[in-house]
Amino acid sequence: MAGAALVASLADTVLAQTYRATRQVRGVWLRPPLDLIGPGSLDENLRNFAAAGVTDLFLETLYEGVSTGKAGVFNARFSFDYLQAAILASAKYGIRMHAWVESGFWQFGSAGRGLYNFTVNGPGQSEGNPEWRVISSATGLTGGDNPDWYFANLAHPGVQNKLRNYMTELAGYKGMWGIQTDYHRYPLDDITTDANPAPWSFDTFSRNAFMAIYGAANDPLLKAISTTGPSGTQYNNFIAWRKAQLTECARQMKLGVDAVAPRIEFSSAMFAVPSTSKCQDWGTWAANNYIDWLMPMAYGSTTSSIANDISIVNAASSGRRVIVGLFTDTTVGHPTLQAQLTRSQTSGMNDWAFFSGPTFAVVANQTTLLNFVLGASQAKQRGDLNNDGYLDSADWSAFRAVYNGTPLTVTAGNTRLNYNGDGVINQTDWTLFKAEFARWRFGEAGIVDQRSFDAFWQCMGNTQGASTRKHLYDFNGDGVIDAKDAPCF
């Protein structure tokens, strides 16, 4: 009966429907709420996300120079390992965790959070160094985008090494799906009326490193502070040098991830067209395979600007996956959520990340996103046989109800199950379905390894969250993670 019902449900739509091999990404950025449970808590946010069909959570993990995770490479923000707790909590709602790292933003307030990153702590201790700060050519002072912000110089080997070590630490978390580098740049121009739109970083290290290549007569502080006149050539050279150093920082961070878990998705929140001051050369990061996912922050005030950003990034993505970031916290000065989704789809984009979590505290926004992703115009994952937006035990059972070991000829109703297009539903198609199921549950590579088992076993005894969405590791669909799920591997 289940097989017949499946065939009937597919018969009217399967010929017109398009399918995708990769899972849909519907991500959301979130600053960690103080509480794990209760009003305004992480759990409440996760319930909202699940109701909207969100699949991925980008949890702010390094910001203002302290870590949401354990005390380690960076000081801890909380008295417990919030990041580990959030991984387990998110899995209850079928949501994957990404550590959102603000790589260049290391201090907030002149004597506040993150100051330790720029303080020498004694012999043999490398937690911080004053030389790790960015310095403005205009003022000779450190700083950032705003008066209370202080950026690290991502060109400095000490900064790069600390971030690489932090990537290794984060990649060691069981159940971590991805890590994202944000603020992977220099600050905004601090004085827009002078002739140097790229005033960062004129620190001693950067100047000496540049002069080691271009000669002692070409101190950037003297020769690279104006876009015009005699210093124009060295100005351009110093821009190129800083871009190359930020690219090297991305490479070092990727190496840190790959040292532990090469299949973790290393993404970047970036600008389609970075301002000159940022020195953000994401095209080279993509071309050199230092980044797996490009996530342009298409936060413009019109849908046409969103489409333009998508076009620019797709053209220079070098085959990296592109997931468009949309600003959805307010419609003041921005298109509605529906308008942004529609325009990004007509621009060929069906994967999104939304800034930010509070968007989905609004029930209407939950409904808008869920209806959009489940709508007929969306390319479906082939294995999502009941079209509910995710792969689970129901899809597994539905496939086996049609094919359970005996090959059968493709018809209009079951062609969706014919993965390899040979006209027969057989063991090859079942194997391909299981590989798709594994990619949905364990990562894009579809490999079930010790890391996958570790992520599963740490959830033993958990139940699904307060939602109809199944737990990420509830393979048999009974609402609890236990030994009965293990055979599904």
In contact, 173 and 69? CB cutoff 8 Å: yes
What's the predicted TM-score (pTM) here?
0.94
pLDDT in tens, the chain (489 residues): 444 455 445 443 444 578 888 889 999 999 999 999 999 999 999 999 999 999 999 999 999 999 999 999 999 999 999 999 999 999 999 999 999 999 999 999 988 899 999 986 544 444 568 889 999 999 999 999 999 999 999 999 999 999 999 999 999 999 999 999 999 999 999 999 999 999 999 999 999 999 999 999 999 999 999 887 656 789 999 999 999 999 999 999 999 999 999 999 999 999 999 999 999 999 999 999 999 999 999 999 999 999 999 999 999 999 999 999 999 999 999 999 999 999 999 999 999 999 999 999 999 999 999 999 999 888 889 999 999 888 988 999 999 999 999 999 999 889 999 999 999 999 999 999 999 998 898 888 888 889 999 999 999 999 999 998 889 999 888 999 999 988 666
Q: Can you tell me the distance from the alpha carbon of 433 to that of 232, in angstroms, rounded to the nearest whole number?
A: 58
Q: Can you tell me the distance from the alpha carbon of 379 to that of 13, in angstroms, rounded to the nearest whole number?
A: 12
Q: Can you tell me the distance from the alpha carbon of 265 to that of 316, in angstroms, rounded to the nearest whole number?
A: 19
The predicted structure's pLDDT at residue 21:
80
Residue 189 burial class via C-beta count within 10 angstroms: exposed 0-12, middle 13-18, buried 19 and up = buried
- Strand locations in 72-216, DSSP E? 96-102, 105-108, 149-151, 176-182
- How distant is the alpha carbon of residue 411 from its chain centre? 40
Residue 12 burial class via C-beta count within 10 angstroms: exposed 0-12, middle 13-18, buried 19 and up = exposed
In contact, 280 and 185? CB cutoff 8 Å: yes
Q: What is the DSSP letter of 157?
A: H
In contact, 81 and 69? CB cutoff 8 Å: yes
Query: Which residue matches tokens 């009966």?
Result: 1
Residue 80 burial class via C-beta count within 10 angstroms: exposed 0-12, middle 13-18, buried 19 and up = exposed
The predicted structure's pLDDT at residue 4:
44
The predicted structure's pLDDT at residue 128:
61
Q: Which domains does the chain have, with CATH numbers?
A: 24-380 (3.20.20.80), 393-488 (no CATH)
